[in-house]
């Protein structure tokens, strides 16, 4: 009998107690339950919903405490402003590149050609709720909505941009207090530890949430439901994968680290996203891991929450690909000027659905509403597969925001390539690491 591999503490490594192993097993079980017992799979939906709600409950206070502590401990508010400008420039550059890549790929492969769908025969009622939400995404209202009606209202609504604004103001106010702000800073740090502790407890339920979410998805739509739109799904998944490996990989290489090693480093968070189709479930864990790599707390607290609204690479690829796909499927002429107009609109609408459930689908609806040449009722074609597309969107968004954090940290000289590579080697599961030492494992 082979003994379990001992850890540095002398205790055997019990692989079945590692979180990502449990999540993988739960996803497989969920797929099998949804396929062979679809009615049961559909009834398991509350398990996934409950886990996502538990995580969302903690996101606002964790982001608030992290950003406040980071900015207040920085001391130099000019540096914070410089950090914010660099972050927004990076976000706009990379997210626009994602939109362009999606546009080029869908025009080359033309997955919607030959569908010959008559928009008048589609059920517009199925997409009515998305259309109504999209029409509410006015640019002025978007910026006004960043300001909450009350201080606590931001936490009640769970809007990350509102929480981020409050955190920036609070962190700046504590900095202005000078030495008098030190006790407040210690208190914020202690409160932050409490919320991360609660998250450590909640995240242990991730396999149950992943099982319920996956069983519901397969039980509701079935494996066969993917066949008709498989071409679009394949093109989107391949494009997103290529974007991560080639675009983000090149950026990572320029900054001195490997994109593959980074992906392995955040594998627990990626599996949470895969199981729940929500990148928000991985936000607290991603923030913790970025700090372990050597990124300053203020950088992590500013870049990642902002990235969840302004750096959605996967959502951007999806929007241009899905919009042109629908035009192809409905035989809607879309010449180069119209596509450039679509690109310009998408650059704005991709920033406008922060904190809205089903943001990727809603931003697509907002884009189509602003480009009347594509029949908006054609959205019904994508309803059946949006759940599967959302997983790829969320995974790409997560990797993109992680890479963005490391890039900004390198620009700010917070971490050297040597330290970054050394810390990545300490990831659970690599040669010199002990999986039992990872609090998320």
| pLDDT tens column, 220-278 | 656 554 444 577 888 899 999 999 999 999 999 999 999 999 999 998 888 888 777 67
Q: What are 7-44's pLDDT values in tens digits?
A: 444 555 565 666 667 777 887 888 888 888 888 888 88
Using CA atoms, how far apart are residues 66 and 181, in angstroms rounded to an integer? 16
Residue 374 near residue 338, CB atoms below 8 Å:
no
Which of the pair, 299 or 386, is modelled with greater confidence? 299
Residue 194 near residue 176, CB atoms below 8 Å:
no
User: Is the model's pLDDT at 319 over the cut of 90?
Assistant: no
Query: Tell me, what's the pLDDT at 439?
Result: 35
Tell me which fold the domain 15-437 belongs to: 1.10.3860
CB atoms within 10 A of CB 249: 18
Q: What are the structure tokens assigned to 159, written together?
A: 């809007």
Query: Tell me, what's the pLDDT at 257?
Result: 92
pTM here is 0.69
User: Is the model's pLDDT at 158 over the cut of 90?
Assistant: no
Helix (H) or strand (E) segment spanning residue 180: none
Q: What are 41-80's pLDDT values in tens digits?
A: 888 888 877 877 787 787 778 778 877 877 776 666 677 7
Q: What are the structure tokens assigned to 432, written together?
A: 């010199």
Q: What are the structure tokens assigned to 68, written together?
A: 């406040």
Burial-class residue 250 by CB neighbours within 10 Å (0-12, 13-18, 19+): exposed
Q: What are 111-155's pLDDT values in tens digits?
A: 877 767 676 655 555 555 555 555 555 556 667 777 888 888 888
Report for 50-54, 168-172, 348-352, 373-377: range of highest mean pLDDT: 168-172
Residue 441 near residue 435, CB atoms below 8 Å:
yes
Query: Tell me, what's the pLDDT at 125?
Result: 54
Q: What are the structure tokens assigned to 33, written together?
A: 């339950």
């Amino acid at each position: 009998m082979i003994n379990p591999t001992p850890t540095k503490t002398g205790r055997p490594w019990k692989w079945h107690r590692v979180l990502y192993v449990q999540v993988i097993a739960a996803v497989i079980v969920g797929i099998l339950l949804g396929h062979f017992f679809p009615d049961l799979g559909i009834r398991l939906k509350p398990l996934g919903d409950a886990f996502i709600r538990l995580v969302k409950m903690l996101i606002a206070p964790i982001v608030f405490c992290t950003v406040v502590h980071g900015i207040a401990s920085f001391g130099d508010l000019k540096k914070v402003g410089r950090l914010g400008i660099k972050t927004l420039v990076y976000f706009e550059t990379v997210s626009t590149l994602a939109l362009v890549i999606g546009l080029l790929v869908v025009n080359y492969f033309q997955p919607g050609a030959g569908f010959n769908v008559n928009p008048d025969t589609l059920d517009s009622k199925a997409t009515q709720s998305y259309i109504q939400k999209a029409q509410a995404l006015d640019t002025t209202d978007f910026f006004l909505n960043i300001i909450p009606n009350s201080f606590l209202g931001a936490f009640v609504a769970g809007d990350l941009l509102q929480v981020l604004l409050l955190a920036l103001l609070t962190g700046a106010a504590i900095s202005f207090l000078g030495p008098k702000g030190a006790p407040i800073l210690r208190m914020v740090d202690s409160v932050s530890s409490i919320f991360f502790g609660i998250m450590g407890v909640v995240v242990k339920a991730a396999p149950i949430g992943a099982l319920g979410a996956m069983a519901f998805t397969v039980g509701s739509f079935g494996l066969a439901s993917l066949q008709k739109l498989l071409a679009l799904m394949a093109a989107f998944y391949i494009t997103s994968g290529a974007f991560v490996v080639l675009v983000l990989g090149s950026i990572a290489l320029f900054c001195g680290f490997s994109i593959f090693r980074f992906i392995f480093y955040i594998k627990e968070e990626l599996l949470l996203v895969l199981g729940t189709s929500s990148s928000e479930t991985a936000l607290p864990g991603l923030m913790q891991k970025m700090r372990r790599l050597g990124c300053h707390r203020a950088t992590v607290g500013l870049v990642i929450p902002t990235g969840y609204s302004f750096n959605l690479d996967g959502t951007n690829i999806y929007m241009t690909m899905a919009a042109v796909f629908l035009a192809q499927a409905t035989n809607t002429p879309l010449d180069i000027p119209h596509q450039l107009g679509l690109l310009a609109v998408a650059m704005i609408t991709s920033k406008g659905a922060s904190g809205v459930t089903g943001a990727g689908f809603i931003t697509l609806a907002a884009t189509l509403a602003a480009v009347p040449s594509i029949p908006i009722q054609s959205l019904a074609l994508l309803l059946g597969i949006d759940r599967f597309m959302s997983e790829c969107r969320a995974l790409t968004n997560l990797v993109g925001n992680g890479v963005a954090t490391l890039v900004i940290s390198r620009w700010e000289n917070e971490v050297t390539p040597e330290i970054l590579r050394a810390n990545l080697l300490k990831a659970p599961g690599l040669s010199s690491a002990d999986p039992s030492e990872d609090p998320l494992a």
